[in-house]
Amino acid sequence: MATRRRYRRLVTVPTRPPSVDSLVRTLTGVGLPHPLLVASARRAVGEGNPDQARHYAEETARRLLQPVVNATGVLLHTNLGRAPLGSATHPGPVNLEFDLDHGRRGRRGGGVEELLCALTGAEAALVVNNGAAAVLLALSTLAAGRPVVVSRGELVEIGGGFRIPDVMAQSGARLVEVGTTNRTHRRDYEEAVRDRGAALVLKVHPSNYQVVGFTAAATVGELASLGPPLMADLGSGLLDESTPWLRGGPPAWLAGEPGARQTLEHGADLVSFSGDKLLGGPQAGVLLGRAELVGRCARQPLARALRPGGLVLGALQATLLAYLDRDPARIPLWRMATTELPELQARADRLVGQVGPPAQVVASTSTTGAGSLPGGRIASVAVGLPGDHRRSLRRHHPPVIATAAGGQTRCDLRSVDPADDEVLAAALKAAVAEGAAGCR
């Protein structure tokens, strides 16, 4: 094969390359604006390989944001936008910073912050662009140039370059490490507070790893009385451990995950978390807690640089209203996480029937993902295909993202919206057909 191709290149007489225009006309089906098709055609012609034009155009199209089917079983997939959103926000003008009562300028995010307080019992709330921004804003407001005490077991790195020591350095706060990797006690904090003075005690929830074995960590309750304000970076954004929005109460896999409401009740002065992890909303960061501390953060110039837009606030508001209505069906994360196994089993049976052999129903395990609940596993059901068909599934329209292990491709149904089962069936059928053609 390789020899033949080389030979063909050698004997190809350099004829006139097709014009860029005529090449572009063959690419209209790719569905990109004309200038992008021209760029692909030019690149291919310039490289003396006009046949590549379609490939380049399709590559460009695949880099654009588009809906995908998440069949990985990771409910909050960091590379797939974490929490899927249920509702679109209003496309026209909104009262983002307009006080409808008095007809004058209002405070951005004020309504959403009230909802957060209603759900968690916090005195005050502030919404910023992501969890990292919430931590940065709090540290730089409350502790710039001053010591912040953190346990050595909690100097975490979250994916995407968020490292507590680096954020601390960026904020201007001085990191004071206490305890050891596996064990930190209240007295370790106590000594550091006494000897070094501290503007803040920071407790970071180890959201993407577990320290097991001979371990000890001081609780929020134990640290609340040390003197300096206590901030807990929860990361995941579980609003309330008692999950009043779920009729059956908290599911077993949620055990041990700290809720914002309980962390405040146990004495934290400030908590921070992401909007798109266990909260199940858009990318955002939330600071909750004592009005005086939250207010100082809100008045800092940096808050202006980190403020969210109307799209984010609209999506967050829709999510929070669903919590208050106790309607988890409107929050895709909770809908996925609490789907009963028999329902997944029935969907898998139906899909396997549609796709035909060699598709089969296999037991699977979902995880919440996105650096939340490191040990949390939820039983699930997948459709399996022998062989690795991930590439074929990714090239389907819309793309399907699956996993492969042990010589089998798996499409976990817990992370797939049932409305996408038809897409999944078509993509699996195409993958089976392509596989069969490849074997011939």
Ligand X SMILES: *Cc1c(COP(=O)(O)O)cnc(C)c1O
Residues that bind ligand X (CB under 6 A): 130-132, 135, 158, 162, 204-205, 207, 233, 235, 274, 285, 371
Token pair for residue 429?
Answer: 């059928």
Please, what is the minimum distance in Å from the beta carbon of residue 365 to ligand X?
Answer: 21
Choice between 136 and 351, CB closer to ligand X: 136
Interatomic CA distance for residues 378 and 337, integer angstroms? 8
Amino acid letter for position 147: P
Rg (CA), the chain: 26
Question: Would you call 2 helix, strand, or coil by DSSP?
Answer: helix
Q: Which is nearer to ligand X, 84 or 371 (CB)?
A: 371
DSSP secondary structure code for residue 85 in this structure: P
Minimum CB distance to ligand X smaller for 255 or for 433? 255
Pick 20 or 132: Cβ nearer ligand X: 132
| Minimum distance, C-beta of residue 277 to ligand X, in the bound complex (Å) | 6
The amino acid present at 254, given as its one-letter code, is L
The nearest distance, CB 231 to ligand X, in angstroms, is: 11
- Residue with Cβ nearer ligand X (130 or 317): 130
User: With respect to ligand X, which residue has the nearer C-beta, 201 or 432?
Assistant: 201
Tokens representing residue 355 in the block: 């796709």
Nearest approach, Cβ of residue 236 and ligand X (Å):
6
Closer to ligand X by Cβ: residue 124 or 370: 370
Residue 196 CB, nearest approach to ligand X (Å) = 23
Sign of the dihedral through C-alpha 163, 257, 320, 381: positive
Q: Are 59 and 390 within 8 A, CB to CB? A: no
- Local structure of 221: helix, strand or coil: helix
CB-based contact 300:318 (threshold 8 Å): no
Quote the least distance from Cβ 130 to ligand X, whole Å. Answer: 4
Query: CB of residue 286 vs ligand X: minimum separation in angstroms?
Result: 9
Closest contact distance (angstroms) between CB of 219 and ligand X is: 16
Distances (CA, A) of 417 to 222, 269, 400: 43, 38, 12
> What whole-number distance in Å separates Cα of residue 244 and Cα of residue 170?
38
Q: Does the N-terminal peptide bond of residue 358 adopt cis geometry, omega within 30 degrees of 0?
A: yes
Rounded Cα gap, residues 373 and 254, in angstroms: 7
| Nearer CB in complex with ligand X: 57/156 | 156
User: Residue 159 and residue 371: Cα distance in Å, rounded?
Assistant: 8
